[in-house]
Amino acid sequence: MAVTTTMPLLYPSLFFLLLLSLFSVNRKLVCIPGMHRLYFPAGPTGRFTNGYTIADFWYTWFGVRSKESIPLPYMHPLSLQKLNTKGFNYASGTAGIFPDTGSTLGKNLPLGQQVKLFGDTAQQYLPSLGAYKNKAKLSQALSESIFVVCMGGNDYINYLQSGSNTSKLYNPQQFGEFLVNELGNHLQDLYTVGARKFVVFEIAPLGCLPDFIDKTKPSTLCNEQINGFVSIFNKKLGVKLNKLKSMLDGSTFVTAKAYQLIYDIVHNPLHHGFADARHPCCASGGNGTGDCKPGTVPCRNRGSRVFWDTVHPTEVLYRRIAGDCFNGKGLCTPMNIVQLAGEC
């Protein structure tokens, strides 16, 4: 499906990102020779793919922003966050819904911290700007903004690690319910500060990742036991978002149902325009993170691969998901992103 950069006439006042990759993300800034220069000439950005992510596409597809720089992550050492009046990016690799997720790999911003940063932005930084000194105007701007949340994948990856504390404390049903409830609490916190429009992603089929397939060697194309664990979360997520909508006056929750699309692509790549859904485009570093090994040369046919490395998709898969959700039908429900932006 084609997506133009000039289609929407309405666009959010601000754009807030609290997310990770659909699968998982490392936190380091790495450089695969020549790759970042194709999309980000200034240097590596920490995106673990060969180009844009879903959020990148959405930001640029809102017509008036098609030529603007995408806001750098809050933790980026070159971030111009203090000069930013268009959007805020609190995304943090390795982080999860639980505070301890990914902490063994270094410092990150768990969802609770990201929500706190949004509170600081809304209550301190934005009111200091001339455009948002009026409280009513700030409240309106926040209510018209879109909040993108894609969290939980790293929590499951942590849960599936041998000897993890969470797997000792919770069985799969309990873990899925507890994780969704924690996510729901953070969404309510966002609402309390002023957020009204939410896009919340399902967790992708982690059992189809080359990393898990290589480690577990299932008899089927994907590890369906792992996918079953993730599906528990996804089913409970829909129930939770419906409940929040009924509780929080004026709120709109859009569910991005990316699980089934990715699952179908992995099982029938040719039908979806991909040549390979099993082998990543670049060699893994072998350090347990699944990301590309520095200094290696990636594949040439990255436009036909599903996976960039053993745990992250290629730009072409991100674009497919972004486009279907932006102005398509079915993937994002009960409305797409353009419709959400136009809601009053």
- Mapped onto helix, strand or coil, the DSSP state of residue 106 is coil
pLDDT at 248: 98
Span 296-311, mean pLDDT?
A: 87
Q: How many structural domains compose the chain?
A: 1
Per-residue pLDDT band at 30 (split at 50, 70, 90): very low
Percent above pLDDT 90 for the chain: 44
Query: Minimum mean pLDDT among 39-43, 128-132, 309-313: which range?
Result: 39-43
For residues 252 and 172, what is the distance between their CA atoms, to the nearest angstrom?
A: 29
Instruction: Give the residue with greater pLDDT, 334 vs 166.
Output: 334
Question: Is 58 part of a structural domain of the chain?
Answer: yes
pLDDT at 26: 36
pLDDT at 2: 28
Domain of 22 in residue numbering reads as: 15-202+223-258+313-342
pLDDT one-digit tens code per residue, 80-131:
445 556 667 787 777 889 888 877 777 788 899 889 988 988 888 888 877 7
pLDDT at 37: 44
Q: What are phi and psi of 70, to 5 degrees?
A: -75, 130
Instruction: Evaluate if residue 286 carries a pLDDT over 80.
Output: no
pLDDT at 63: 62
For residues 341 and 119, what is the distance between their CA atoms, to the nearest angstrom?
A: 22
Question: Is residue 47 within 8 Å of 53, Cβ to Cβ?
Answer: yes
pLDDT at 62: 78
For residues 66 and 59, what is the distance between their CA atoms, to the nearest angstrom?
A: 7
Instruction: Evaluate if residue 20 carries a pLDDT over 80.
Output: no
pLDDT at 24: 44
pLDDT one-digit tens code per residue, 206-249:
999 999 998 999 999 999 999 999 999 999 999 999 999 999 99
- Tell which residue, 284, 283, 287, 286, has the closest CA to residue 297: 283
Question: Is 263 part of a structural domain of the chain?
Answer: no
- How many C-alpha atoms does 250 have within 13 Å on its Cβ side? 11
Query: Minimum mean pLDDT among 279-283, 291-295, 316-320: which range?
Result: 291-295
**Cα-Cα end-to-end distance for the chain:** 27
Question: Is 148 part of a structural domain of the chain?
Answer: yes
What tokens does 310 get?
A: 């053993």
- How many C-alpha atoms does 134 have within 13 Å on its Cβ side? 5
Question: Is residue 157 within 8 Å of 206, Cβ to Cβ?
Answer: yes
Question: Is 208 part of a structural domain of the chain?
Answer: no
For residues 79 and 81, what is the distance between their CA atoms, to the nearest angstrom?
A: 5
Question: Is 283 part of a structural domain of the chain?
Answer: no
Question: Is 190 part of a structural domain of the chain?
Answer: yes
What tokens does 269 get?
A: 């790549």
pLDDT one-digit tens code per residue, 175-216:
999 999 999 999 999 999 999 999 999 999 999 999 999 899
E strands along 52-136, which residues? 87-89
Question: Is 214 part of a structural domain of the chain?
Answer: no
> Where residue 22 sits, what CATH number does that domain have?
3.40.50
pLDDT at 272: 96
Question: Is 302 part of a structural domain of the chain?
Answer: no
